């Protein structure tokens, strides 16, 4: 397979006696300036700096719409070494600009070595307009985030190494907090569409669901493709609708169930227009399943509150207790807000909890056919311990639409 190498990245090792001039900066809102070497797009971008502990799946992470408005720091040092391809992209809305604002890695990007690679990672970052930086101590940056929380920052890349540091400091200090930001409009679908693609298999690629048993409407707050594939795997014909679709329009499609997707930003801000819709669907006893932002939306719809987290959860190795089975699952996570468990109403039972910090990771309603989880059962990247939740959703639809409940 011919691999598009693109433009060689700026971080190639120079001759030993050549002075190295920093070609990228990460300027934090408190005035801290971290020097490194530029990758990807040339220019500057604003965002909230988080860290992700996953050792694989950097392409899936950087195309996950839930990271909109953020600069992702990878704690694993070797990022980009297997290249990128067109199959592992997670965003559905390819017309939208990349949600991720920047990428922070430790080691320079090497040439790809993988049978599925189609493009050099640096060329791919340029194509998606993602500014990158390498050559800095990502462990120290991660420790700073753990200690002080996720800072706002400007990530800047200039091949000639010339920066107006004072201006970048002022720009970083002026970035608004993620609190109160509705970032869904930038990542949601512009119009409804049908989804029937199933999960990837070695030697076969992606398949198609040709005999669906249930009809699901997925409200797109920034949905990931692998969520939709697992719904199709479970026997669902999926119709994706924009985040602002009304409850009446959703019910007019006569779905067997509704899925509330993942997405970026402050759930309370998105909830200004989405919570009334979800509340109406729940009142209609529509079987409902939510993931990530969708979980937070469901909690808000029944009267709970959400809160900003100190450092968030971003990784593919998080332990979660499932109280419905008594088992501990290792799951993928990506969120900077959480449901405040102390505000859950009596009809919302906690079903999952993080074993890292005790934060809420799942609820089920006792008076309506609805449940949701904070983590990402679709993995992509990450473990597959929670795939059963998609089948649980189908079973809920089967029960709700059985002759006994007609």
Q: What are the tens digits of pLDDT across the range 94-146? A: 766 668 999 999 999 999 999 999 999 999 999 999 999 999 999 999 999 99
Q: What percentage of the chain has pLDDT greater than the value 70?
A: 95
Among the listed residues 292, 295, 314, 375, the single catalytic one is 292
Task: Render pLDDT for 188-201 as a digit per residue (tens, 0 to 9).
Answer: 999 999 999 999 99
pTM over 0.85? The answer is: yes
Taking 60 as the threshold, does the pLDDT of residue 6 lie above it? Answer: no
Q: How many C-beta atoms lie closer than 10 Å to residue 106's C-beta?
A: 19
Residue 122 Cα to chain centre, angstroms: 21
What residue ranges do the domains of the chain occupy?
Answer: 24-173, 184-405
Q: Mean of the pLDDT values across residues 276-286?
A: 98
Answer whether CATH 3.40.50.880 is correct for domain 184-405. Answer: yes
Q: What CATH topology corresponds to 24-173?
A: Glucose Oxidase; domain 1 (3.50.30)
pLDDT at 96: 64
pLDDT of residue 1: 54
- Check if 157 is active-site: no
Average pLDDT in the 338-367 region? 98
Residue 4 or residue 132, greater confidence: 132
Question: Within 13 Å, how many C-alpha atoms sit on residue 107's CB side?
Answer: 10
Whether 292 sits among the annotated catalytic residues: the reply is: yes
Q: How confident is the model at residue 252 (pLDDT cuts 50, 70, 90)?
A: very high
Catalytic-labelled residue, pool 120, 313, 318, 376: 376
The b-or-e profile of 282-309 (16+ CB within 10 A means b, else e) is beeebbbbbbbbbbbbbbbbbebebebe
Contact 329, 320 (CB under 8 A): yes
How far, in Å, are 221, 350, 352, 375 from residue 77 at the CA level?
31, 36, 31, 24
Tens of pLDDT, residue by residue over 387-403, are 999 999 999 999 998 87
pLDDT digits (tens, 9 = 90+) for 163-210: 999 999 999 999 999 999 999 999 999 999 999 999 999 999 999 999
Spacing of C-alpha 32 from chain mean position: 27
- Catalytic site includes residue 87: no
């Amino acid at each position: 397979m011919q691999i598009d190498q693109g433009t060689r990245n700026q971080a190639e090792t120079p001759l030993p006696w050549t002075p190295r001039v920093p070609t990228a900066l990460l300027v934090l809102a408190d005035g801290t300036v971290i020097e490194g070497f530029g990758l990807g797009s040339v220019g500057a971008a604003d965002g909230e700096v988080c860290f992700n502990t996953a050792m694989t799946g950097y392409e899936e992470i950087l195309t996950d719409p839930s990271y909109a408005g953020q600069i992702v720091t990878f704690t694993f040092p070797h990022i980009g070494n297997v290249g990128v391809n067109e199959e592992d992209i997670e965003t559905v809305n390819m017309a939208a600009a990349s949600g991720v604002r920047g990428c922070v890695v430790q080691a320079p990007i090497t040439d790809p070595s993988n049978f599925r690679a189609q493009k050099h990672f640096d060329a791919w970052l340029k194509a998606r307009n993602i500014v990158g930086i390498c050559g800095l101590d990502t462990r120290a940056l991660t420790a700073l985030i753990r200690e002080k929380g996720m800072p706002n920052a400007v990530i800047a890349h200039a091949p000639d190494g010339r920066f107006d540091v004072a201006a970048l400091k002022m720009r970083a200090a002026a970035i608004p907090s993620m609190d109160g930001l509705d970032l869904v409009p930038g990542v949601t679908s512009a119009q409804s569409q049908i989804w029937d693609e199933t999960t990837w298999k070695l030697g076969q690629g992606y398949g198609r669901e040709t005999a669906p048993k249930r009809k699901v409407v997925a409200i797109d707050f920034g949905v990931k493709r692998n969520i939709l594939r697992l719904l199709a795997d479970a026997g669902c014909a999926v119709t994706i609708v924009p985040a602002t679709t009304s409850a009446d329009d959703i019910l007019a499609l006569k779905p067997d169930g509704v899925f509330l997707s993942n997405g970026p930003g402050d759930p309370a801000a998105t909830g200004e227009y989405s919570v009334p819709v979800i509340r109406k669907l729940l009142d209609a006893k529509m079987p409902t399943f939510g993931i990530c932002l969708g979980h937070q939306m469901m909690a808000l719809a029944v009267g709970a509150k959400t809160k900003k987290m100190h450092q968030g959860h971003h990784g593919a190795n998080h332990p979660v207790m499932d109280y419905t089975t008594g088992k501990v699952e290792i799951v993928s996570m990506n969120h900077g807000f959480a449901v405040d468990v102390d505000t859950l109403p009596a009809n919302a039972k906690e079903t999952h909890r993080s074993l890292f910090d005790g934060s809420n990771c799942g609820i089920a309603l006792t008076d309506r056919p609805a449940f949701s989880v904070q983590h990402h059962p679709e993995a992509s990247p990450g473990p597959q311990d929670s795939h059963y939740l998609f089948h649980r959703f189908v079973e809920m639809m089967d029960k709700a639409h059985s002759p006994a409940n007609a």
